[in-house]
Structure 1
């Protein structure tokens, strides 16, 4: 739990929340436009989408411990090297490394670790580690914004790299057990008349999971949150500046996001042990739609706080929900491959968000028209959540366990 929480928090340098405070300094020093930076960021995120399925298979084959050690070492080194970029091609390469290493690889192995090692009260365990980790991610922009002012963005990237190397690698090496425990197959205790958190009778393969509506509904919810949330966060200063907020006030919205993220991670983790996945997906999408609309109509004051609370709730809640839903639906043996495929879609979706919002802003006199279009994504997932069915205990075509 300690290792996964710290590793998740230290994905911050590759997450859009922390990256957002670097964007304007990068634009000023490198002399490039916001659309060019968004395009470079898109290529970085798309590269992460290509790597995630391969990484998921590595987790299934070698276990979270070895994979986390390798990823932590590589990610820390990438941050240090990225501090030397001088032009757009170097910046694109830096974005590739940061997004693959932080938002993709370290994020995937950190959240999968808890699902593999913890078998009882898995929802609560994932919610707890997610709450701690995402609190670090959400608070990072406030600290980094001050450090950039005092030290400069290059020096801050070096500092982040040193912290990742000093914490992630030793924790994974010395705290994670070398061999995960075998998952129990006896029926889970009944809660509220339903067997919550019971593993399926047979572990599903990725190919079998891809044939279910639940896989695509959960993946769609995570992808919608990733695309919309990345877009809103990447252009945070400009987006909220249009609504009358200063850069410091815009960065301060991460404080209510952190508070809401903590509550949502705990609440969704607990609820996932007691309530069906479909209701949780629909609820999360309702909050995401509200946050998307709110970004275009908020004003300095309580509406800004409400916006931060809503965005933090859906962004952190859906991460916990996905980490709990897939073990319950498809088992643990191929969990890395299944979650790797979803993270590939998620990273790909995040690559499109900033560019889509930047293009929408360039074609209108405000962000509002683009935000209205983005609201269609959570609406579509709500509809899917209302009609999808939970997968059976055994994949179709396979005999049941005797």
Structure 2
């Protein structure tokens, strides 16, 4: 089945997944961080202070996610999405009115939990549950919401706030959530997709459904986590400190904002290529190559200071993001089944949020300690190389288990 025919047949559900990931941007680091420079000055905070605040709030949201995330196994997805989006809308209002550090911590906690955490979690859980033989394609299309938001939101936010101020930008986000995202997504999710008889037969009795307790005791899970967590950890760290990077390199904020379009384009290309590839050869066989784009991106940014490095870095980071979002969305149901996928994915998502919190906090402390940023970037590249070897071993272990792979429809 071609992409176009697959899209036409499943437009309702794929559209819901796409919009959920797209509007999770209001809780994503790349969007929140565009206001943190102004907040840091208004509240008199250092880079390290802001990094620790962001890390603490994000870690708290990650601790809540395994418990809140189980709601998708117990309640209809459209009801969970409605509650989450109402919370996210209210938090956009709160962000527009932050005037103290305690309120900032609470708002970042809520934005991270409802936006980055639950919006993405609902999307990928739905794709993993509703699709089997075409899961890779479904996840790849839903994950296109990330690059779409990354391409449009930064330049729109910078332009809008340059005229009206950053607080007005969050009021605009509130209006978008309330008037468009919430009603459209709930309407699309209201009727869940039911797998066809052929899809059910193709995977029936071919996959053992692991519980979350079993997954926690599986060493392979933690080996894979060491790789899956690297992009949100280090990619988020660089995005969080984008103002510092721009000032350090002597680049303009407008120039750097324009590189998000390159990142988004490459993420789209990577997702569209990877989705059918996963359906064809499985996600586990692609494990060893997952961190190659991030490792190269970090190396380029650490060694090259010319403006072209920003575009090369963001292009490679886009490939990494497209790879990771599509890959992680398809991998967990492939190796652990779908019966408890909500709880398992919530655990994996919580770890990713932990990683995305640890990165900015660590980099902020290293910046305050005057550790050269170039050295930090080269260190990230070396980590990617080392963990790629670990992932090669994990892939072989999964192959030795002779884990069944769903047939192509």
TM-score above 0.5, yes or no: yes
- Partners of 2:287 and 2:358 lie apart in 1 by 22
1:249-303 CA distance string (max 9 Å, x none): 2222211101111111111212111234344232221111111222222333433
Q: Is the 8 A contact 2:249 2:305 kept in 1?
A: yes
- Partners of 2:100 and 2:323 lie apart in 1 by 37
**SS in structure 2 of the partner of residue 86 of structure 1:** coil
Tell me the CA shift for residue 107 of structure 1.
1.4
Of 294, 316, 332, 2:300 maps to 294
Under a length normalisation based on structure 2, what TM-score does the superposition of the two structures give?
0.88
Q: Is the 8 A contact 1:218 1:322 kept in 2?
A: no
* Structure 1 spans left out of the alignment, 5+ residues: 189-197, 396-402
Tell me the CA shift for residue 393 of structure 1.
7.0
Match of 2:351 in 1: 345
Q: Is the 8 A contact 2:212 2:344 kept in 1?
A: yes
Match of 1:400 in 2: none
**SS in structure 2 of the partner of residue 186 of structure 1:** helix
Match of 1:166 in 2: 179
Give runs of ≥4 in structure 1 deviating > 6 Å.
none
Of 44, 67, 74, 2:87 maps to 74
Number of matched residues?
386
Match of 1:151 in 2: 164
The 1:40/1:218 distance shift into structure 2, 3 A limit, reads same
Under a length normalisation based on structure 1, what TM-score does the superposition of the two structures give?
0.89
Match of 2:109 in 1: 96
1:308-329 CA distance string (max 9 Å, x none): 1111111221111011111111
1:302-353 CA distance string (max 9 Å, x none): 3322111111111221111011111111121111111100011110111111
1:108 aligns with 2:121: yes
1:246 aligns with 2:259: no
The 1:207/1:32 distance shift into structure 2, 3 A limit, reads same
Of 321, 325, 339, 1:315 maps to 321
Q: CA RMSD in A?
A: 2.2
Tell me the CA shift for residue 95 of structure 1.
0.9
Tell me the CA shift for residue 211 of structure 1.
3.2
The 1:122/1:366 distance shift into structure 2, 3 A limit, reads same
Tell me the CA shift for residue 213 of structure 1.
4.1
Q: Is the 8 A contact 1:239 1:295 kept in 2?
A: no
Of 192, 196, 214, 1:208 maps to 214
Q: Is the 8 A contact 1:11 1:137 kept in 2?
A: no
Range 21-30 or range 66-75, more displaced: 21-30
Matches within 5 A, 1:1-400: 1-181=14-194, 184-187=199-202, 200-364=206-370, 366-388=372-394, 389-390=397-398, 392=401
Match of 1:192 in 2: none
- Partners of 1:105 and 1:133 lie apart in 2 by 14
**SS in structure 1 of the partner of residue 390 of structure 2:** helix
Q: Is the 8 A contact 1:221 1:318 kept in 2?
A: no
The 1:290/1:199 distance shift into structure 2, 3 A limit, reads farther
By percentage of residues, which structure has more helix? 2
1:337-394 CA distance string (max 9 Å, x none): 1110001111011111112112222223630222233334423431221111227478
- Partners of 2:125 and 2:77 lie apart in 1 by 8
Match of 1:194 in 2: none
Q: Is the 8 A contact 1:13 1:160 kept in 2?
A: yes
- Partners of 2:169 and 2:245 lie apart in 1 by 24
Tell me the CA shift for residue 12 of structure 1.
0.8
Q: Is the 8 A contact 1:69 1:168 kept in 2?
A: no
* Structure 2 spans left out of the alignment, 5+ residues: 1-13, 405-409
- Partners of 1:305 and 1:317 lie apart in 2 by 18
